[in-house]
A and B are shown apart, each in its own frame.
Chain A
Amino acid sequence: MEHLVEGRGDVRCPVMEFDYAPVKPAGYYHEQAKVLRDQGPTFFNQLAQGFWMVTEYDACRDLLQSKAFNSESFVPVDPDPAYKMLPTHADGKAHQQYRRIMSPWFSPGTIQRVEPEIRQIAAKLIERFAGDGHCDLIPEFAMRFPTEVFLTLIGLPVEDADIIQPLVEDFFRGYTGEISEEAMMASLGELFAYYDRVIADRQANPRDPERDYFTRMVQAEFDGRPLNQEEMHAMCMLLSLGGLDTTRAHLGYLFKHLAEHPEDRRRLNDDLSLSKSCVEESFRFHAIIWILARKANEDMDFHGLPVKKGDMVSGVLTAANRDPKKYDRPDEFIIDRPEFRHLGFAAGIHRCLGIHLARAELRIGLEEWQKHIPDYELAVDAAELEERGSQLSLLSLPLRWETKVPAGSSA
Chain B
Amino acid sequence: MSLRLINDGELCNGHLTCCAVAPDLLSVDEVDAWSVAIKGQTIEVPPELREQAERAEALCPEEAYSLVETDQ
Contact = CB atoms under 8 A, between A and B. Distances in A.
Given A108-B19, A349-B13, A351-B15, A103 B62 contact: no
Contact of B32 (A100, A108, A110, A345): A100
Interface in B1-40: 11, 13-17, 19-21, 23, 29-32
Interface in A90-110: 99-100, 103-104, 107-110
Nearest to A111: B20
B29 A110 contact: yes
Interface residues of A, number: 20
Interface centre among A109, A110, A340, by most chain B C-beta atoms within 10 angstroms, is A109
Nearest to A110: B29
If over half of A's interface residues share one DSSP class (helix, strand or loop), that class is named, otherwise mixed; here it is: helix
Interface residues of B, number: 21
Residue with the greatest number of chain A CB neighbours at <10 A, chosen from B15, B21, B62 = B15
B62 A355 contact: no
Nearest to A103: B31
A277 interface: no
A8 B61 CA distance: 33
B61 A347 contact: yes
A356 B23 CA distance: 14
A236 to B, nearest CB: 20
Interface string A343-379: 0010111010001100000000000000000000000
B5 to A, nearest CB: 17
B30 A351 contact: no
Nearest to A355: B15
Contacts of B61: 341, 345, 347, 351
A46 interface: no
A176 interface: no
A269 interface: no
B31 A108 contact: no
A173 B61 CA distance: 31
Given A339-B58, A339-B59, A348 B13 contact: yes
Contacts of A65: 11, 62
Contacts of A347: 61-62
Interface of B: 11, 13-17, 19-21, 23, 29-32, 55, 58-63
8 contacts: A104-B29, A104-B30, A108-B16, A339-B21, A341-B63, A347-B62, A349-B13, A351-B13
Top 7 nearest A-B pairs (CB, nearest first) are A109-B29, A103-B31, A108-B20, A349-B13, A107-B29, A100-B31, A108-B19
Given A103-B31, A351-B13, 15 more contacts: A65-B11, A107-B19, A108-B16, A108-B19, A109-B29, A339-B21, A339-B55, A339-B59, A341-B59, A345-B61, A347-B61, A347-B62, A348-B62, A351-B62, A355-B17
